[in-house]
Structure 1
Amino acid sequence: MKSYLSLSRAMLIGLFRDKTTLFFTLLFPLMFLVIFGAIFGGGSDTKPGKVIEIGDVAVLDNMAKADPDALKDLLEITKSSDEADAKQQVASGDAAAAIKQDGQTVTIYYSAADRTQAGIVTGILSGIVENTNLEMLKAAAPGTPTIAVTTDQVEDKALKPIQYLTPGLLGWAISMSGVFGAAMTLVTWRQKKTLRRIRLAPVSVGAVVGARVGNTLLLALIQMTVFLLVASLPFFGLTLTAFWWMAIPCVLIGALAFLAIGLLVGAVSKTSESASGLANLIILPLAFTSGSFFPLSQMPDWMQKISYVSPLRYLNEAMLDVMVRGEGPAAVLPNLGVLVVFGIVVGFIATRLFRWDDV
């Protein structure tokens, strides 16, 4: 028994001294609990974003007069008389849905890029219409026409879900390769004294950096090519828009931004295990809060606000604009500007913390 207790104590001490094992045993699963709990745990956070009321929608106007507070708790409504502009805002992701009423028919215009929001709006509006119909039946004679709810997709109905999955997953793949590739290479070379040999060799620092940057950009282009080829297979049915080629500079600039993160991780990590743990700690939360796996509109408000500091959000949005939404090259310039500034700032910090050797 004494030997057993001694061994158990030694193993427990070893567990807590092994930071990598401790991270993947406790903190890594806990991180998923926090993320998924925040996304799905709060019923009050399922209120959709802006909903555009096209013209006069009687069911909403009547409810606003009868109980304005109740309607505000359900929908964030703005009015517009321009149907084409309202649909464009839905297609570009600036509004969750647009609502129009013609006689006894209420139409909900939604974007296939965010079916979650469309489902929330449809469910809320169907409940409002059902209550309106009950009130009408109570006040009128039997046989009075009731109001019906229909839905209409603002994009081409031939588009498939693969259109909206491809940009997010491609952005996640680029972030993974950029961060892990740079971090693990830097730490491994430092541990094996390769960096010291390079420093003493007749090779300029610029050549070393250029080789690393070139490999990162080449890998990003290969990833993009493979993703598009696979997604374009008849089984998946990806259809690219006219300006899909603008995704190329998006991918290249995004890869450089995540390369900067990888260099920073490699600069502060002393072992490959710690570099791997820190890279996972950075990338996985970014992926879940930047629209790679879940629509941003499905996130709680506070998580949506946090996502604005994530470079992956801007990469995903830029690729979504030109690959799916049909936006022109100018639409991605603000997102690319953010990625450039982010990469410069993080890259500068990484250079200040860079070490050629462990000592």
Structure 2
Amino acid sequence: MTSFLALARAMLLGYRRDRTALFFTLLFPLIFLVIFGGLFKSGGIPKSSVVLVGSVPLVEQLPADGHGQLDQVLKISRTDDVNAAIAKVRSGDAAAAIEQHGNQLVVHYSQADATAAGTVRGVVESLVQSANLAASGQPPRFSVQAEQVEDKALKPIQYFTPGILGYAIAIGATFGAAATLVTWRQKKILRRLTLSPVKVPAVIGARIVVAVGIALVQMVIFIAIASLPYFGLKLSHSWWMAIPLILCGTLAFMSIGLLAGAKAKSTEAASAIANLITIPMAFLSGSFFPIEGAPGWIQGKMGILLGFALVLGGIAAWLFRWDDV
């Protein structure tokens, strides 16, 4: 037990003295959190720019609440030159140009931005249907009540934080295990440990304890920063269930670090191998961007990655060596 604690303490002190490791495991991921959390803080739907040409009574005669709802999805500007308005649509400066001739609305749009064009067309068609219903003098027979199923406090920071925290844990566990293994082998520390009473499980266990401790510190720092009023992270329901997931993730990514450290002959080579594996995984896992938009064949391949911890851990044990050869 004494040797185990001594090894864990030595690893922890070495980590604290390594400024590069501190930067890449703590500060570097926090930069991503601040950037993404600040840029997408509002979480609102991007407004589509619309140009009204001349007088458009259907829009101008909307009640106050109707104008308020319209302003939530459209950014409206006005002009009297229809050619200039259409030119804006063609250049992408506006999603659509709308003009009214009598009882007919004409919507000029570009299919280059199908999403924005579809939004504008849907809004205009809804306005026309509402106007037709009001002109008929009949009360509406059906109505819609929309209710959000998620917590109404849901903001972009709610899903940016766990994603980037996962990336930070991956970096810490992977590079920490790889760098320690390579450095100790280069300095003949592993060779000396074989001649000491220290058992192999104590060495591995000390590395696991340090990696898990660093991961928990990362979690505390990330939650503390993201919970600031500027970002507005709200912890709700069974948020503490993230702790077992963090422990499992740390062990899984340690297997990558052990593989890189077992194969590499220098710290630089170990870092390159770890980067080659972890960076693609960060993007394929949805840490930065939703994976729902990825092609179907990529989403299918992602399931294979679930077994990487066991496979890479076995390979690392097979390739492990106490000394350089």
What TM-score do you get using the length of structure 1 for normalisation?
A: 0.51
What is the aligned counterpart of 1:208 among 195, 203, 207?
A: 203
What is the aligned counterpart of 1:199 among 162, 182, 194?
A: 194
Report Cα offsets for 1:150-199 as digits up to 9, x if no partner.
Answer: 97643232222211111101100001111111111111111221111111
Report Cα offsets for 1:105-153 as digits up to 9, x if no partner.
Answer: xxxxxxxxxxxxxx9989757646767988x89xx99957999999764
Asked whether the equivalents of residues 179 and 262 of structure 1 are also in contact (C-alpha less than 8 Å), the reply is: yes
Provide the rounded CA distance (Å) in 1 between the counterparts of 2:321 and 2:136.
Answer: 79
Counterpart of 1:357? 323
Counterpart of 2:151? 156
Does residue 259 in structure 1 map to residue 246 in structure 2? no
Counterpart of 1:6? none
The Cα shift of 1:309 comes to 3.1
Provide the rounded CA distance (Å) in 1 between the counterparts of 2:263 and 2:155.
Answer: 43
What is the aligned counterpart of 2:292 among 294, 297, 312?
A: 297
Provide the rounded CA distance (Å) in 1 between the counterparts of 2:175 and 2:224.
Answer: 24
Provide the rounded CA distance (Å) in 2 between the counterparts of 1:128 and 1:351.
Answer: 59
Asked whether the equivalents of residues 178 and 259 of structure 1 are also in contact (C-alpha less than 8 Å), the reply is: yes
What is the aligned counterpart of 1:177 among 152, 155, 172?
A: 172
With over 3 angstroms needed to count, the CA separation of the structure-2 counterparts of 1:192 and 1:150, relative to structure 1, is: farther
What is the aligned counterpart of 1:246 among 241, 262, 267?
A: 241
**Structure 2 SS opposite 1:169:** helix
Asked whether the equivalents of residues 195 and 357 of structure 1 are also in contact (C-alpha less than 8 Å), the reply is: yes
Provide the rounded CA distance (Å) in 2 between the counterparts of 1:133 and 1:232.
Answer: 40
Counterpart of 1:277? 272
Asked whether the equivalents of residues 126 and 149 of structure 1 are also in contact (C-alpha less than 8 Å), the reply is: no
With over 3 angstroms needed to count, the CA separation of the structure-2 counterparts of 1:243 and 1:125, relative to structure 1, is: same
Provide the rounded CA distance (Å) in 1 between the counterparts of 2:117 and 2:241.
Answer: 37
Counterpart of 2:104? none
Provide the rounded CA distance (Å) in 1 between the counterparts of 2:173 and 2:133.
Answer: 68
Structure with the larger RCO, 1 or 2 (CA within 8 Å, 6+ apart)? 2
Asked whether the equivalents of residues 153 and 234 of structure 2 are also in contact (C-alpha less than 8 Å), the reply is: no
Asked whether the equivalents of residues 129 and 148 of structure 1 are also in contact (C-alpha less than 8 Å), the reply is: no
The Cα shift of 1:302 comes to 2.8
Q: Identity over aligned residues, as a percent?
A: 52
**Structure 2 SS opposite 1:176:** helix
Provide the rounded CA distance (Å) in 2 between the counterparts of 1:182 and 1:168.
Answer: 21
Report Cα offsets for 1:289-322 as digits up to 9, x if no partner.
Answer: 1111101112232332333233xxxxxxxxxxxx
What is the aligned counterpart of 2:313 among 344, 347, 351?
A: 347
Segments of structure 2 that go 5 or more residues without pairing to the other structure are: 1-112
Provide the rounded CA distance (Å) in 1 between the counterparts of 2:133 and 2:152.
Answer: 40
The equivalences for 1:210-249 within 5 A come to 210-249=205-244
Computed over aligned residues only, the root mean square deviation of the Cα atoms, in angstroms, reads 3.4
With over 3 angstroms needed to count, the CA separation of the structure-2 counterparts of 1:180 and 1:144, relative to structure 1, is: farther
Counterpart of 1:168? 163
The Cα shift of 1:344 comes to 2.8
Provide the rounded CA distance (Å) in 1 between the counterparts of 2:310 and 2:253.
Answer: 11
The equivalences for 1:1-359 within 5 A come to 124=118, 127=121, 143=135, 153-310=148-305, 338=306, 342-359=308-325
**Structure 2 SS opposite 1:292:** coil
Provide the rounded CA distance (Å) in 2 between the counterparts of 1:296 and 1:264.
Answer: 27
With over 3 angstroms needed to count, the CA separation of the structure-2 counterparts of 1:124 and 1:141, relative to structure 1, is: closer
Asked whether the equivalents of residues 179 and 279 of structure 1 are also in contact (C-alpha less than 8 Å), the reply is: yes
**Structure 1 SS opposite 2:209:** helix
With over 3 angstroms needed to count, the CA separation of the structure-2 counterparts of 1:129 and 1:181, relative to structure 1, is: same
Paired AA for residue 261 in structure 2: G
**Structure 2 SS opposite 1:291:** coil
Provide the rounded CA distance (Å) in 2 between the counterparts of 1:120 and 1:232.
Answer: 37
Paired AA for residue 351 in structure 1: A
With over 3 angstroms needed to count, the CA separation of the structure-2 counterparts of 1:343 and 1:185, relative to structure 1, is: same
Report Cα offsets for 1:237-273 as digits up to 9, x if no partner.
Answer: 1111221111100000110000011101111111111
Larger radius of gyration: 2
Count of residues paired in the alignment: 209
